[in-house]
Amino acid sequence: MGPFITDVPKSVLQDVIIKLPTKSIIMCKSVCKTWCSLISDPAFAKLHFAQAEAYPMVRPVDRTSVSRNLYLVEPEDSSGFDLKDHDCNRSCVHMNLSKYKFPLCHAEELLNHHRNGNVMPSHETEREVHMKITKIDDNNEEVDWGEGIAFMMQYDHNNYNLVNSCNGLLCLSDFFMNYPAAVCNPITGEFINLPHGPKHENAMTLIGSGLGFGSRTNEYKVVRILKERTPDPNKVAEIHTLGTGSWKSVGTAPCSDSQQSFPTCVKGMLYWFCNEWTGCSVISFDLDTEEFQSVPSLPFREGGRDVSMGDLGGSLCLCKTESFEINVWVMNDSGPQKLWMKNISIRTGFRRRWPDGVYIPMKYFENDGLLMFNSRLNAFFYYHPGNHSPFIYLKLRGMKKYSSSEAISHVPSFISLKDILVGKDVEILNINSRCAVLKLPGETEALSLVEENASSEVGMPPSLEGGKQYL
């Protein structure tokens, strides 16, 4: 009879567990009381977050059913998503897609009406979905996603929209009006409902919102920008600090009339991308001073629909798809003035034949590799200039026909909401404790990633055939 596993020194055990995939750490809490206590310790959560990496989080979107499913895509080994020197013909990439959930918008209503046929009792047990990325033969008969048609989700008042991610927290908005309504941590299952905002004399329309973190004040804040429904509308900004019970006005918002997209928090600043017929721009809001700040003019005037914004390695970035190139600019704020610098330029070289759509930055690697998500194709796109096959597509499979998906870059966190809220009177709810026995249609589906030959989907030119590049 050898020593028990609980006899392993706490420091050693902590160093081992902290390196596991997120879902495995959650499972370790069920091993014994010692492990559960270790992982539940706020000190462990802070250590884990300090070394945690950003991974893609995918949400299926279906026009015929409501899904609360979220999938965190994590690699199984230390190579991660860095596919440099990856030989598609000889090796596979192993990844885990771990399922998490959104909270329900009207949980009590669903409980009261669970026999109406729209909510189904579930006796299934949650299990981790394990994937291997493998090459698919050109004659594969699976559902054809080559057209890349995206369908709008059917309106459903029990669902939330996903606004953005910040430090392991997700900002969620009401599905109809898109007002910020909740903040949740999908890893811990905790969420809070945001208070209703102040009433305005004139009817208002939301044109932008987002969650951010002020590093100097050490506070999480949700910002929303509204405009009046008048011929010459005023635009106002309001802010809510998590843990308080109200919103406050922070003055006029210097922004356009169009919807602000891709809210991104970088170094205490919350950014939005604005695209109008007169041109495109980026606006920023300082979460510590609670003031809007100027942003350098963009390196391009015309935006179009194929522009995205995100965080690459702690820097704000813009990604624009054009006829022959996918260009990535990064904001350099190390000097006295902020400047846009072109970081990556991907020469596609195939006009009208290259898959178009918005390429959303997910992760930048130290060896110049780049991982993005193509919203039109429901696929991840990996690029490295030094690879023999520089373009690799990893496609999402397993959803219903005609389903689409959205993806964000998300840092998994075990930090509890109770440790970051300013006030102590806010009710912290749990996703798994309310309506835990109920599932909405579509929630039992699983996703997978599949590597495919480019020529089998979008009619690539012959020069792309032969298993060199994948879609």
Co-location of 44 and 130 in the same domain:
no
Give 344 or 1, the one with higher predicted confidence.
344
Based on the domain organization, do 453 and 355 belong to the same domain? Answer: yes
Least confident of 84-88, 194-198, 272-276: 84-88
pLDDT tens-digit profile of 397-434? Answer: 765 544 678 899 999 999 999 999 987 778 888 887 65
What residues does 182 pair with on adjacent strands? 172, 193
| Neighbour-count burial of 282, counting CB atoms closer than 10 A to its CB (0-12 exposed, 13-18 middle, 19+ buried) | buried
The β-bridge partners of 392 are: 382
- Tell me the residue type at 224: R
Q: Starting at the edge strand that comes first in sequence, how are the strands of the sheet with 135-136 ordered?
A: 135-136, 448-452, 391-397, 379-383, 370-374, 359-364
7-11, 348-352, 369-373, range with the lowest pLDDT: 348-352
Which of 157, 154, 150, 216 has the alpha carbon at shortest distance from 396?
150
Question: Tokens representing 158?
Answer: 């029990």
For residue 160, tell me if it sits in a domain.
Answer: yes
Least confident of 144-153, 194-203, 252-261: 144-153
Give the three-class secondary structure for 274: strand
pLDDT at residue number 134: 31
Show which of 51, 68, 88 is a domain's final residue: 51
More confident residue, 277 or 293: 293
- Claim to verify: residue 20 and residue 91 sit in the same structural domain: no
Q: Are residues 173 and 192 in the same domain?
A: yes
Residue range 314-318: average pLDDT? 92
Model confidence at 46, pLDDT cuts 50, 70, 90, reads very high
338 and 389, same domain (yes or no): yes
Task: Compute the distance between CA of residue 403 and CA of residue 149 in angstroms, rounded to an integer.
Answer: 9
Domain end, chosen from 30, 51, 72, is at 51
Same domain, 157 and 235: yes
Which of the two residues, 326 and 155, has the higher pLDDT score? 326
Q: Based on the fold, state whether residues 126 and 43 are members of the same structural domain.
A: no
Q: Is 24 helix (H, G, I), strand (E, B) or coil?
A: helix
Q: Answer for the pair 76, 95: CB distance below 8 angstroms, yes or no.
A: yes
Predicted confidence at residue 166, as pLDDT, reads 95
Owning domain of residue 40? 1-51
Query: Which of 154-163, 190-199, 213-222 is least confident?
Result: 154-163
SS3 category, 11: helix
What is the rounded CA–CA span in Å between residue 370 and residue 240?
Answer: 34
- DSSP summary character for residue 244: B
Asked if 365 and 338 sit in the same domain, the reply is yes
**Of residues 315, 265, 364, the one with CA closest to residue 54:** 364
432 and 396 housed in the same domain: yes
CATH number at residue 297: 2.130.10
Same domain, yes or no: 192 and 284: yes
**Given a cut of 50, is residue 72 above it in pLDDT?**
yes
Any domain includes 426: yes
Of all residues in the chain, the percent with pLDDT exceeding 70 is 69
Greatest CA span in the chain, whole angstroms? Answer: 81
| Average model confidence (pLDDT) across the chain | 76
Q: In this structure, is residue 220 part of a structural domain?
A: yes
Is 176 a member of any domain?
A: yes
Structure tokens at 10: 């706490």
Task: Average the pLDDT over 335-341 and give the result.
Answer: 84
pLDDT tens digit sequence for 148-187: 222 233 335 567 889 999 999 999 998 778 899 999 999 9
DSSP helix/strand/coil, 103: coil
For residue 303, pLDDT over 50 is answered with: yes
Domain shared by 137 and 7, yes or no = no
Share of the chain above pLDDT 90, in %: 28
Query: Does 469 map to a domain?
Result: no
pLDDT digits (tens, 9 = 90+) for 91-105: 556 677 888 888 877
pLDDT of residue 265: 95
Question: What is the Cα–Cα distance from 119 to 115, expressed in whole angstroms?
Answer: 7
Q: Where are the beta strands (DSSP E) in 39-189?
A: 55-61, 69-75, 93-101, 120-121, 129-133, 135-136, 160-166, 169-174, 180-185
In which element (H, E) is residue 107 found? Answer: helix 107-112
The count of other CB atoms within 10 Å of the CB of residue 28 is: 17
The answer to whether residue 287 scores a pLDDT higher than 90 is yes
Residue 360, beta-bridge partner list: 373
Give the DSSP letter of residue 311. E
How far apart are alpha carbons 31 and 21 in whole angstroms? Answer: 16
Q: Give the total number of structural domains in the chain.
A: 2
Contacts of 436 (CB under 8 A, 6+ apart): none
Q: Is residue 471 part of a domain?
A: no
**Nearest-10 Cα torsion for 176, 210, 101, 374:** 90
Residues 71 and 40 in one domain: no
Residue-level pLDDT at 43: 94
User: Which amino acid, 229?
Assistant: R
Q: How far apart are CA 107 and CA 109, in angstroms?
A: 5
The model scores a pTM over 0.85: no
Q: Provide the angle, in degrees to the nearest 10, between the axes of the packed helices 33-40 and 42-51.
A: 60
Q: Which of 239, 279, 242, 240 is nearest to 257 (CA)?
A: 279
Whether the per-residue pLDDT at 144 is higher than 80: the answer is no
Cα–Cα distance measured from residue 415 to residue 243, given in angstroms and rounded to the nearest whole number: 15
